[in-house]
Amino acid sequence: MNKNSQTEIEAASFRRLLKHLDDNKDAQNIDLMNLANFCRNCLAKWYMAEAVERGESVDYDQAREAIYGMPYSDWKDKYQLPATAVQMAAFDARGKG
């Protein structure tokens, strides 16, 4: 596989991951953190870091909008539920918060 094809496949896979997360808003960030040690906000931080590394000016709010498909504050108001005691206990038990 040539490098261009690999990059296109990786980009398409990333877009597919974002669509999957968008289609499954019930998968809360706390759940993702507890299960996989990353969440939508982590993806936004990675997105921002990679943009900056390539000389692009992307701030955290712009990166989160790219990941969430809308301003983070809107997504949070519409879809984010308060973390339960069980979710927080699992998060705290990981010791990596």
Res 91: pLDDT:
93
CB 18 within 8 A of CB 67: yes
State which residues form the domain around 15.
3-94
Whether residue 68 contacts residue 40, with contact meaning beta carbons closer than 8 Å, is answered with yes
How many domains does the chain divide into? Answer: 1
What global pTM score does this model have?
A: 0.89
Instruction: Return the CA Rg of the chain.
Output: 15
Query: Average pLDDT per run of 10 along the chain, which is 97 residues long?
Result: 96 97 96 96 97 96 97 97 95 79
What's residue 97's pLDDT? 47
Q: What is the CATH number of the domain that holds 73?
A: 1.10.3340.10
